[in-house]
Amino acid sequence: PVKQTPPPKDLCLSPPQSPRATSGRLKGAIDKSSKPGISPKSRATPQQTARSLRLGDEVPDFIAAATGMPGHNRLMHWHSWIEGSWAMLCSHPADYTPVCTTELGRLADLLPEFLKRGVKVAAVSCNDVETHEGWIKDITATAFCQSGQVDYPIIADSSRAIAEQYGMIDPDERSAEGLPMTCRAVFIIGPDKRLKLSLLYPATTGRNFTEILRAIDSLQLTAKHNVATPVDWKRKDKCMVVPTLTDEEAIRKGLYFEVIKVPSNKRYIRLTADPS
Ligand code: BEZ
């Protein structure tokens, strides 16, 4: 059998794997070509990784340089950074691209709304930290960034290792150098480090972060209460009792409800007040 040496402490270390944890993290081996440390499995094809990250999976760990991180090498250990908190990771095809510039500016202005909800925010783009820092000066100079500051980290992923590991590569977009670019992905991660929501937009379509905040409100509410949120729901609007609860169970949990009459006479649309 091949003898495995333990990985150095400054590279990506993997905690014990749970049965549903995603692949793509270290299992005692280090990809020495990958700088900063990331699993050798991150070299899997985009098709393989895209399929492997499912709702409920533990999100892959990585160590990468990021803006705003302390120390001369500005390394962020992703799992330690998000530890115990909700988190959002958004990917961007490349620095100095127009749509991304508008998105990061808007996200900077909305950061207090994410923090109010206990959600840590990080962006990732396929360039190095120095390029990110130059780009931030442009972002903060535009009208899309009224606050004039980007107070969340932008992770460096020049090698596309994180993009591949998370299945974020857009097969249709290539950089000027012919390298694959990431799509606009959004990953909302729970305090248990498991994926709660993912969105994949093509590079040519900018996201709506107000909608993402609305979805986070629903995720956080439904994580605590046996309710689901209907179309266009926003905080304080009526919710629905989840189909898995009987009428009696719902009432026992204090979810008093109104049944909406439908031609089938089935009692499945049960409206209840926002329980938060
Ligand atoms: C942009 O961010 O503007 C962009 C990036 C890649 C392809 C198209 C647009």
Q: What is residue 179's predicted lDDT score, i.e. its pLDDT? A: 80
> Both 117 and 185 in a single domain?
yes
> Both 160 and 251 in a single domain?
no
For the chain, what is the domain count? 2
> Both 175 and 100 in a single domain?
yes
- Structure pTM? 0.83
Containing structural domain, residue 159? 57-223
> Both 189 and 101 in a single domain?
yes
> Both 89 and 218 in a single domain?
yes
CB 206 near ligand 1, within 6 Å: no
Contacts of 16 by beta carbon, 8 Å cutoff, 6+ apart: none
> Both 121 and 156 in a single domain?
yes
> Both 212 and 231 in a single domain?
no
Cα–ligand 1 centroid distance for 134 (angstroms): 18
CB 98 near ligand 1, within 6 Å: yes
> Both 91 and 118 in a single domain?
yes
Q: What is residue 236's predicted lDDT score, i.e. its pLDDT? A: 97
Cα(226)–Cα(13) distance, integer angstroms: 36
> Both 212 and 86 in a single domain?
yes
Residue 108 and residue 150 in contact, taking contact as beta carbons nearer than 8 Å: yes
Q: What is residue 258's predicted lDDT score, i.e. its pLDDT? A: 98
pLDDT under 50: residue ranges of the chain? 1-50
Give me the sheet containing 195-201, strands edge to edge: 154-156, 119-125, 86-92, 184-189, 195-201
Among 127, 170, 204, residue to substitute to test ligand 1 (most atoms within 8 Å of Cβ): 204
CATH number at residue 261: 3.30.1020.10
